[in-house]
Structure 1
Amino acid sequence: MIDVSVIGCGNMGGALITGLAQAGNYDITAYDVDPDAFEAIEEYADRTTTDLEDVRDSAVVVLAVKPDIVPLVLEDLDLRAEQTLVTIAAGVSTDVVASETDASVVRVMPNLAARTRNMAAAVSWAEPDENVKAMLSDLGEFVVVDEDLMDVATALNGSGPAFVFYLIGAMQQRAAEEGLDADDARVLAAQTFKGAAETVLRSEESIEDLIDAVCSPGGTTIEGMEVLWDSSVESDVGDALSAARRRSAELAEEAEK
C-alpha cells in the first residue's frame, strides 16, 4: 500500500485520485482549501482534508495546483528527505520546487485520461522513484524525458487531449450533418480514435504504413486522405502544439522571476 496525498482536487488532481483509487493499493488523502472541491472525488479518496498538516506524512505528495499557487503551498509544506514531492504544474521547474523542500522532487506532466487509467505522462527525475513509477504505470503509459523537453511534452500529452477532443468533435459533427444520429456519431468517432491509438501503441509499423493499410486504391479512405494531404491540417495541428509549448516556456520564465 502506497500512502499518497494529492494537494489540489481540481480537474487534474481529481483525475489522479480517481485513477489511483480504481487501481487499488493506494491510501489516498485529498487536500484542498475549498471543501466544495471534494464533491467530485469524495468516493475515491480515503480521506479529505482542508488542513495541510494531514498530508505531511505521506510517502508521495502530489502538488496538483496551478503554477502561480505552487510557491504559496511550498511556503507551508514541510516535507522530509525520505519523502517524494511530485509536481505537475506546467512550466514550474524541478529546481524551483526543490529549493523550497527537503523532499526528493519529481516532475510529471500527466493528462486527464488518468481518470480512466489511460493516461499518457512524461516524467523527469534525477533518480527513478519506485513509488512514482508504480503510480504512473497504474495510470497508463509514461516516458522519461530530460527536463528541458518538458515544455514540448506539456504541449503533446498535457494539452494534446483537448486537440484530440476537437478532432473527435469535428468528425462527430460532420457525420451528424450527413445524417447519422449525433450520439451514435460521438460513440463511433471516439471509439475510432481509441482503436487507432491502441493500434499505434501495439504496432511497430510507421504511421505512414498504418495509413496505407487502411487505404485501398480507388476506395473511400484514400478519397478522404487526399483531402487531408491537400490541406494545411498537418501544419495547423503542429502549430497548435508549438503554441502550447511556447506558453509552457513562458510560464517557466514567470515562475523563475
Structure 2
Amino acid sequence: MTTVSVIGCGHMGSALVKGLSAAGTHRVTACDLDTDALEAVEPYCAETTTDVAEAAAASDVVIVAVKPDVVGPVLEELDLAPEQTLVTIAAGVPTDYVATHTDATVVRIMPNLAAETQNMAAAVAWDEVDEDVRELLADLGEFVVVDEDLMDVATALNGSGPAFVYYLIKSMQEGAAAEGMDPDDARTLAAQTFKGAAETVLRSEESLDDLIDAVATEGGTTIEGMRVLWDSDADAAVADAVHAAADRSRELAGAFDDE
C-alpha cells in the first residue's frame, strides 16, 4: 500500500484525501496548521498532523496542496530523499523551482475538485512515468500527460473548468425554473444531463459536432435551442474564460522566474 502525505487540507487537498480514502489503496496522512481543517478530514486519514516534516518523512508520495505563495515556505520544511516523490499542484509553480528545493523526484499535476468523488480530470507533467503517481491519479479519475508548458492551459481547462460548468448548470437550472419547474428538480436534471453527456463524450469516438447533430435533429426541439446558442457569442465567452484563467496562471508563474 502506497503511503501518501497531503500537505494542505483546503478545498483541493481535502478532495484528494477523501478520494484516496475511497479508493482504499493508499495510507493517507493529512497535514495542515489549521486544526479545524484536520478535524474535517480525520475520518478519511490514517493520521493527521500539524508537523510538515513529520507528515512527509515516511511517505512514498508527498503532495503539496497549498497556494502558490505558500509553496516556498513549505518546501523549506521538507527534507525528502531521492526515492520519494514530491507532487505539486499549485497553479503557476514550475517544476524547476520545486526541484531546486528537494532531492525527491518532482511531478507536477493539475487536478480538480472531482477527486473527492473519483471523477477527477487531471493533467500531469513528468520527465518519466512515476508509477506511484500514475496509480494515484488513475484511482481518482482520468488524467492526461502534457508538456509542462501546457500546464497553464490545463490549469484553466480542468482546474478552473468545474466552476465554468457549475455556471452553465446554474443557467440551465434557472431557465427551467423560469418555465415553472421546481428549482431542486431542475438542478438535479441539469447536473445529471452534464454528467451523462460528459460520459458519452469520454466513451464515444464521434466528434463533438456529430454528437450535437445526433441530438439536434431537424424539426425537433433541440435544434431550436441550438440555434439560439449558434447565433450567440456563448462559445467565444467560454473560450475567453479559459484564456483569462490561463493568463492568470502564467502571471503566477512569472513570480517564480527570478527565484
Q: Same fold (TM over 0.5)?
A: yes
Structure 1 segment 37-186 matched on structure 2, within 5 A: 37-55=37-55, 56-186=57-187
Are the aligned partners of 1:5 and 1:29 in contact in 2 as well (CA < 8 Å)? yes
Amino acid across the alignment from 1:10? G
Are the aligned partners of 2:53 and 2:77 in contact in 1 as well (CA < 8 Å)? no
CA-based RMSD of the aligned residues comes to 0.6
Are the aligned partners of 1:106 and 1:123 in contact in 2 as well (CA < 8 Å)? yes
Cα distance in 2 between the residues matched to 1:19 and 1:74: 24
Corresponding residue of 2:200 = 199
Cα distance in 2 between the residues matched to 1:124 and 1:89: 13
Cα distance in 1 between the residues matched to 2:51 and 2:241: 39
Q: How far is the alpha carbon of 1:255 from its aligned partner?
A: 2.4
Are the aligned partners of 2:123 and 2:143 in contact in 1 as well (CA < 8 Å)? yes
TM-score (norm 1): 0.99
Amino acid across the alignment from 2:157? L
Q: How far is the alpha carbon of 1:235 from its aligned partner?
A: 0.3
Are the aligned partners of 2:98 and 2:106 in contact in 1 as well (CA < 8 Å)? yes
Cα distance in 2 between the residues matched to 1:22 and 1:146: 30
Query: Residues 125-165 of structure 1, C-alpha deviation per residue, up to 9 Å, x if partnerless?
Result: 01100000000000000000000000001000000000000
Give the 3-state SS of the residue equivalent to 1:85 in structure 2: strand
Residues 1:247 and 2:248 aligned together = yes
Runs of 5+ consecutive residues of structure 2 not aligned to the other structure: none
Q: How far is the alpha carbon of 1:34 from its aligned partner?
A: 1.1
Cα distance in 1 between the residues matched to 2:39 and 2:223: 48
Corresponding residue of 2:36 = 36
Amino acid across the alignment from 1:163? F
Cα distance in 2 between the residues matched to 1:94 and 1:112: 22
Q: How far is the alpha carbon of 1:117 from its aligned partner?
A: 0.2
Corresponding residue of 1:11 = 11
TM-score (norm 2): 0.98
- Runs of 4+ in structure 1 off by over 6 angstroms are none
Cα distance in 2 between the residues matched to 1:100 and 1:197: 39
Give the 3-state SS of the residue equivalent to 1:190 in structure 2: helix
Query: Residues 66-122 of structure 1, C-alpha deviation per residue, up to 9 Å, x if partnerless?
Result: 000000001111100000000000000000000000000000000000000000000
Residues 1:22 and 2:19 aligned together = no
Of 15-24 and 30-39, more deviation after overlay is shown by 30-39
Are the aligned partners of 1:68 and 1:255 in contact in 2 as well (CA < 8 Å)? no
Q: How far is the alpha carbon of 1:174 from its aligned partner?
A: 1.1
Cα distance in 1 between the residues matched to 2:37 and 2:3: 21
Are the aligned partners of 2:30 and 2:49 in contact in 1 as well (CA < 8 Å)? yes
Q: How far is the alpha carbon of 1:215 from its aligned partner?
A: 1.2
Cα distance in 2 between the residues matched to 1:68 and 1:197: 34
Q: How many residue pairs were aligned?
A: 257
Cα distance in 1 between the residues matched to 2:40 and 2:162: 21
Aligned residues: percent identity? 68
Q: How far is the alpha carbon of 1:40 from its aligned partner?
A: 2.1
